[in-house]
Structure 1
Amino acid sequence: MSDSLDAAMAALDAYMDGLNRGDEAAVNAACNFPHVRLAGGKVAVWHDRGDYRLDDFRARAGEGWARSQWDERTPIHVGADKVHLKVAFSRYKADGTLIGRFETIYIVTRQDGRWGIQARSSFAS
């Protein structure tokens, strides 16, 4: 099962790297679709690769967002084709000021042989 966990962690790394570079295609490539996000009392669904827009992320990331980082990535369940992770991440302004730290559950799946983030339930806005 460690191969599944390694693959899930690689998907999380690819997502965060793409996000911090402002690379929308890389962020979409790190996800599996349909992709679901539960946060702020709302459910968002992106049905197809390419539907996830960084402009939407930036609108909710916080004033002056410049980058994010993982603070915790703890496996909850690890299976052959799906991994549940308890994660925490922080968002920062360019000057290093913390915008906020958020706890989230990520579900990373393998679809057609490729691993990607499928769903998130977050306390982030």
Structure 2
Amino acid sequence: MSDANALFIPQHDDIDYIDHLDEPSMTRAALACIDGFTACFNARDLDGMDAHLHFPHVILSGEQLVIWERPGQLPAHFFDDLSRDTGWHHTAYQEKQVVLVSPRKVHLRVAYSRNRADESIITQHRNLWVVTWQDERWGIKQRSY
């Protein structure tokens, strides 16, 4: 990008869909996207999870920046390994709180746990996720762990 100032100004082109949505509608759409992603995660559906993401997809895990340029970045055995290594059965949210809503974006703080079948908690997580309107749909663009 040659104009550094453009980084700090939200785009307003082709925003007809967003213009008629109010903040509560955008929030509901972003939350529905996260719920869909999580339903696919719990169903062990890698393709379904990818369908709820936008690419490139950005993950900030600790200090490590990971960018998935395309779908299919998790190995087919991801869930088998997760279950075998941790006893994971499903993921459950305790909180999904909107932090910021702006054109094309909803920033959320999420809290969830990875649980065993008996509902005992393996790990708890608090993350920031950004859901964006892109390519005529809402999708998760960024996750910070």
TM over 0.5: yes
2:89 aligned with 1:66:
yes
Partner of 2:58: 36
Partner of 1:24: 46
Partner of 2:24: 2
Determine which structure has greater relative contact order: mean sequence separation of CA pairs < 8 Å that are 6+ residues apart, divided by chain length. Answer: 1
2:118 aligned with 1:103:
no
Q: Which runs of 4+ in 1 moved over 6 A?
A: none
Match of 1:75 among 98, 102, 108: 98
Name the CA distance, whole Å, in 1 between partners of 2:91 and 2:51: 18
In terms of fraction of residues, the more strand-rich structure is 1
| Amino acid aligned to 1:25 | D
Aligned length: 122
How far apart are 1:8 and its partner, in Å? 0.5
TM-score by length of 1: 0.87
1:58/1:65 contact within 8 Å kept: no
TM-score by length of 2: 0.76
1:15/1:30 contact within 8 Å kept: yes
SS at match of 1:119: strand
| Amino acid aligned to 2:69 | H
Deviations 1:72-120 (A, max 9, x none): 1111111230010011011101222210111000000011211011111
2:105/2:131 contact within 8 Å kept: yes
Structure 2, unaligned runs of 5 or more = 1-22
Identity of aligned residues (%): 34
How far apart are 1:51 and its partner, in Å? 2.8
State which structure, 1 or 2, has the greater radius of gyration over its C-alpha atoms. Answer: 2
| Amino acid aligned to 2:131 | V
